[in-house]
Amino acid sequence: MIVRLVRLLILLAVWPVAALAGDVPGRFDFYLLSLTWSPSYCAAEGGVRDDAQCQSGRRYGFLVHGLWPQYDRGYPEDCPTRVSPAEADIRGLSDLMPADGLVRHEWRKHGACAGLAPADYLKTIRAARETVRIPAAFQRIDSYKTVSPAEVEAAFVAANPGLKPEGVAVTCDGRRLREVRICLTRDLGFRACDEVDRRACRADRVVLPPVR
């Protein structure tokens, strides 16, 4: 009994290290590009935080939330790194990610797991965003719009040849559309991602607040 207890304690002590050891920079299956509808974020919490993208005169629609390395099941995060993006590189991404703090956070939590230098990871974010065409119906919305998540998904599929319904997921907070998440191969081609697709919004209708 004592021997078994000692073995159990050893396993419990080692397990967290072993679990973290699985998140190795550069070891992942695909990317998930997350595009946030900025007016929804600002209506929900960004305005209270006075985030850069929510300040007066910032007429943003879809912005990049992040580009996240993924496993086919689960995802790596917080991979060890001793480097950070240069300020000039962060500012160079401001048209896609206006909040400098978000860029730094995304690098620490997700980007370091890509196995790229910070500058190359930020370039990959831009390349991934340029891979995706925003449907015309969602490029500028001047009044509140109610749609179904399925309509949003279908519009993205129609606007992006090669993108399939099983490779895109629309998320919501119960009332507002929050994000469109698109799965990309490591060389930024479209691909299916069943686990991501299963987490899509289940609401019948969602609201898109207008760009202001």
> For a pLDDT cut of 90, what percent of the chain falls above it?
78
The pLDDT value recorded for residue 82 is 94
Per-residue pLDDT tens for 130-176?
999 999 999 889 999 999 999 999 999 999 999 999 999 999 998 99
Q: Once rounded to an integer, what is the mean pLDDT over residues 178-197?
A: 97
Calpha distance 193→186 (Å, rounded): 13
Structure confidence at residue 9 (pLDDT): 38
Of 16-25, 41-50, 106-115, 133-142, the one with minimum mean pLDDT is 16-25
DSSP state of 176: B
Domains located in the chain, CATH noted: 25-208 (3.90.730.10)
Output the average pLDDT for the chain: 89
27: pLDDT confidence band, cut at 50, 70 and 90? Answer: very high
Q: What is the pLDDT of residue 7?
A: 44
pTM of the model: 0.87
Helix (H) or strand (E) holding 168: strand 168-172
- Among 8-17, 160-169, 177-186, name the one with the lowest average pLDDT: 8-17
Confidence (pLDDT) at 174: 83
Q: Which residues pair with 36 in a beta bridge?
A: 63, 179
Does 12 score more than 70 pLDDT?
Answer: no
Q: Identify which has the larger pLDDT, 9 or 33.
A: 33
The backbone region for 57, taken as left when phi is positive above 0, alpha when psi lies in -120 to 50, beta otherwise, is left
Q: Which residues are catalytic?
A: 65, 106, 110
pLDDT on residue 16? 36
State the amino acid at position 186 in one-letter form: R
Over pLDDT 70: what percentage of the chain? Answer: 87
The single residue listed with the structure tokens 């910070």 is: 118
- Hey, what are 160's tokens? 């992006």
* CB neighbour list of residue 210: distance below 8 Å, 6 or more residues apart: 39, 141, 142, 143, 144, 145
* pLDDT tens, position by position, 44-95: 886 666 677 888 777 899 999 999 999 999 999 999 999 999 999 999 999 9
Per-residue pLDDT at 49: 63
